Amino acid sequence: MRNTPSDRDALFLGLDSSTQALKATLIDAELRVVREGAVRFDDDLPEFRTEGGAHRHPDGLTVTSPALMWVAALDLLLERMKREGWPRDRVAAVSGSGQQHGSVWLRRGARAALRGLRAERGLREQLAGVFALEDSPIWMDSSTGRQCAARERAMGGAQAVAGVTGSRAYERFTGNQIARIFEERPGVYAATDRIALVSSFVASLLAGDYAPIDVSDGSGMNLMDIRARKWHPAALECTGPGLERRLGPLVPSHTVIGPVSPWLAARHGFRPDCQVVAFSGDNPNSLAGLRLRHTGDIAVSMGTSDTVFGSLADPKPSASEGHIFVNPVEPEAYMAMVVHKNGSLTREQVRDRQPGGSWEAFETALRGTPPGNEGRIGFYITEPEITPPIMRPGDYRFDAAGRTAEAFDPAADARGVVESQFLSMRLHCANIGLTPKSILATGGASANASVVRIVCDVFGVPVFVGEQPNSAALGAAYRALHGWTCRRQGRFVTFAEVVAKAPPFRRAAEPDPAAHAVYTQMLPRYAALERRVLAG
């Protein structure tokens, strides 16, 4: 039996199963990043034929990912960790992050397969047959409009749904995806033993048993009472029969759900007493990774989707704007979030129109165009948008006089896509009371100085960035340490106390008053044009 690593030598692993990749971040007890790794779904697992980690279906609304791909990605990541000599025997705890709203449908017999994993074989070959539904609906899916309308009728309207669950009925939310599967594919529903979120599914792979859903990720389903931290009976009833049994229990986010599976210890060298802390969603983990604690501390995550979120104590759910989730690191608190579906993939499409089609060309275009884009405003909708709800994809351009424009030159498109994304963010954040005093920028685009400059000037507040760009994986590692510490001390230890040694964020930009004035003057025009686009 190997000796337990001392507190000083213990390591903590965070995983992030995002839309496009499975990432890993390993930290030590001083919160320093020790190792990082990633499996890119499109590049490393081409046999699943995904684009951006997903399959877009012919109806233009349905978007799924192969559930087995997430299993194969974990197999590959663990093999790379072994080959590269990651010190797995020093990992005291692991937690993780999953893209929110994705669901994994496990058939009867899946639990026995998880419990009976054999060390001489990989996960993929042992679990290929455990899915009642091979293609998992994910957050980009917009196919459940009918089910959303039915939920709001059954529960007394959009505001009533928001008041209980934290959000009105949204097409991508898991409860509405479940309702659609029950109605349209009753055989799949009947064959399903457990409906997991992406987060709890990956936790199940590590624990070798069904893992519970944590209350933070669970509050993004339109099924949970965010104040009681329990499944809401009326929300379950209008979704599908026997649903509570299929969902399993809810647990606080810092809960240790058990040790790693014997398979993980025997095949990959993890300690048998390495603890698995409940996994959560990618946005809650980003809040943890960015250590947001005070009102006015706001994070802007620029990834596949662009999100803005912050901590708050008194939730005021709205049927028209944003979401309220349970805070993943403060058990009595909440987090508010606004999601813009058209994020990095949309910026990439505009990047490809630049001469040379590179990020360097994109940044050159941003530097070479003035704040306000000479009055030109564009709405770039690659996928049906969430905020605001623009369901018809396309590019909608307007000149300085408000007339529709067929095209902008490539440089104006580059500035137009970035300015429109963050003007929209400023507008809709203000509508739910998220008013920043400072901003922490994260995600891939946070490395682009010209994009950060526009964020800073649009909001008119300082922008900080962390040296660690993968905030969801880092937040998962922090949460592994947090849950492990709470278990070791036999009490709840504040998250702020656990992460006190984390490195400070770097101040990346101060607002330019003149540029901020330009954007403040633009905002009413932007809002009016947004209403025109929404009106068709």
7 versus 373: the higher-pLDDT residue is 373
The C-alpha atoms of residue 375 and residue 372 are separated, in whole angstroms, by 6
One-letter-per-residue 3-state SS of 509-533? ECCCHHHHHHHHHHHHHHHHHHHHH
- Asked if the model's pLDDT at residue 432 lies above 80, the reply is no
Q: Look up the CATH number of the domain holding residue 150.
A: 3.30.420.40
Length of the chain in residues, anyone?
536
Which helix or strand (DSSP H or E) is residue 401 part of? Answer: none
Q: Which residues pair with 133 in a beta bridge?
A: 105
Q: Is the dihedral of CA 217, 223, 226, 232 positive or negative?
A: negative
Query: Quick one: pLDDT at residue 345?
Result: 92
In a domain, 87, yes or no: yes
- Token code pair at residue 509: 């930009």
Instruction: Report the phi/psi class of residue 101: left, alpha or beta, with left for phi > 0 and alpha for psi in -120 to 50.
Output: left
pLDDT band of residue 3 (cuts 50, 70, 90) is very low
The C-alpha atoms of residue 32 and residue 461 are separated, in whole angstroms, by 28
Query: Quick one: pLDDT at residue 129?
Result: 95
Cβ atoms of 425 and 445 within 8 Å: the answer is no
pLDDT band of residue 6 (cuts 50, 70, 90) is low
- Asked if the model's pLDDT at residue 337 lies above 60, the reply is yes
The C-alpha atoms of residue 3 and residue 260 are separated, in whole angstroms, by 16
Query: Quick one: pLDDT at residue 8?
Result: 81
pTM of the model: 0.83
Query: Quick one: pLDDT at residue 326?
Result: 95
pLDDT band of residue 304 (cuts 50, 70, 90) is confident
The C-alpha atoms of residue 219 and residue 281 are separated, in whole angstroms, by 10
Give residues with Cβ within 8 angstroms of 252, minimum separation 6: 214, 215, 229, 278, 331
In a domain, 452, yes or no: no
The residue segments making up the domain with residue 259 are: 11-284
Tell the residue number behind the tokens 């028209």, with chain if given: 320
- Asked if the model's pLDDT at residue 2 lies above 60, the reply is no
Query: Quick one: pLDDT at residue 511?
Result: 98
Which helix or strand (DSSP H or E) is residue 433 part of? Answer: none
Per-residue pLDDT tens over the stretch 254-296: 999 999 999 999 999 999 999 999 999 998 998 999 898 777 7
Give the orientation angle of helix 198-207 with respect to helix 67-83, to 10 degrees: 50
One-letter amino acid identity for 506? R
The C-alpha atoms of residue 279 and residue 200 are separated, in whole angstroms, by 6
Strand bridging mode 131-133 / 103-107: antiparallel
Cβ atoms of 231 and 282 within 8 Å: the answer is no
Cβ atoms of 289 and 474 within 8 Å: the answer is yes
- Asked if the model's pLDDT at residue 5 lies above 70, the reply is no
In a domain, 476, yes or no: no
The mean per-residue pLDDT over the stretch 59-63 comes to: 95
One-letter amino acid identity for 108? R
Cβ atoms of 510 and 462 within 8 Å: the answer is yes
Return the DSSP state at 445: G
**Closest among 488, 375, 364 to 414, alpha carbons compared:** 364
Main-chain dihedrals φ then ψ at residue 463, nearest 5 degrees: -120, 130
- Asked if the model's pLDDT at residue 84 lies above 60, the reply is yes
The mean per-residue pLDDT over the stretch 130-144 comes to: 97
Cβ atoms of 174 and 224 within 8 Å: the answer is no
In a domain, 470, yes or no: no
Query: Quick one: pLDDT at residue 467?
Result: 63
Return the DSSP state at 328: S
In a domain, 26, yes or no: yes
- Asked if the model's pLDDT at residue 453 lies above 90, the reply is yes
% of the chain with per-residue pLDDT over 90: 84
Averaged pLDDT of the chain: 94
In a domain, 409, yes or no: no
The mean per-residue pLDDT over the stretch 342-354 comes to: 95
Q: Which alpha helices (H) appear in 269-383, and where do they start and end?
A: 282-289, 344-351, 359-367
- Token code pair at residue 427: 């507008």
**Closest among 31, 5, 177, 44 to 103, alpha carbons compared:** 177
Q: Is the dihedral of CA 415, 418, 422, 427 positive or negative?
A: positive
Tell the residue number behind the tokens 């922008």, with chain if given: 463
Per-residue pLDDT tens over the stretch 90-99: 999 999 999 9
In a domain, 158, yes or no: yes
Domains in the chain: how many in total?
A: 1
In a domain, 261, yes or no: yes
**Closest among 261, 283, 280, 281 to 272, alpha carbons compared:** 261
pLDDT band of residue 469 (cuts 50, 70, 90) is low
CA distances from 30 to 26, 500, 502 (A): 12, 9, 7
The mean per-residue pLDDT over the stretch 494-498 comes to: 94
- Asked if the model's pLDDT at residue 468 lies above 70, the reply is no
Per-residue pLDDT tens over the stretch 139-186: 999 999 999 999 999 999 999 999 999 999 999 999 999 999 999 999
Query: Quick one: pLDDT at residue 504?
Result: 86
